[in-house]
Structure 1
Amino acid sequence: MVKLMLWDKQAADFSILQNEKNMKFKVVIFTSIIPKIFRGKLQLNSSPATRFYFNKSIEYIKHFKGRIRDRKEI
């Protein structure tokens, strides 16, 4: 497990978007994050350039969600 820390406006914006989405499986793409090791574990921190995307139409997200569906059917 990797902990992702969002700060300030990014945290508020993400919370609002997350509450608006009513999906069983959520796939989010994060960009421009800062990786750090904290107490021996990887932690990802947002930066001023961090952006996140919930766009279900991105081809990689479609592929990933299909793999999750396939696993559930096994």
Structure 2
Amino acid sequence: MSLHLQEHKEQPDSLPEESEMWEMEQESVLHRSDIQKSLLVGNYSILLQKFTVTLQFLILLCLIKTEN
């Protein structure tokens, strides 16, 4: 009888630990997802900057050619 009570007593203790581990894992997944999103935004930002510089260079070339 006491063994049966001990089993029930141990189960609630183990459930919160699993729940906490699951929550930590979910937070880790969300954190990784946020990092991936910010890296993607950073990559697009760099591409946009390169495109803008290239466009400015082409406009400058066109202006130089029209002056000559």
Q: Same fold (TM over 0.5)?
A: no
TM-score in terms of structure 1 length: 0.23
Q: Which has the higher strand share?
A: 1
Structure number, greater radius of gyration? 2
**TM-score, length basis structure 2:** 0.25
Q: Which has the higher helix share?
A: 2
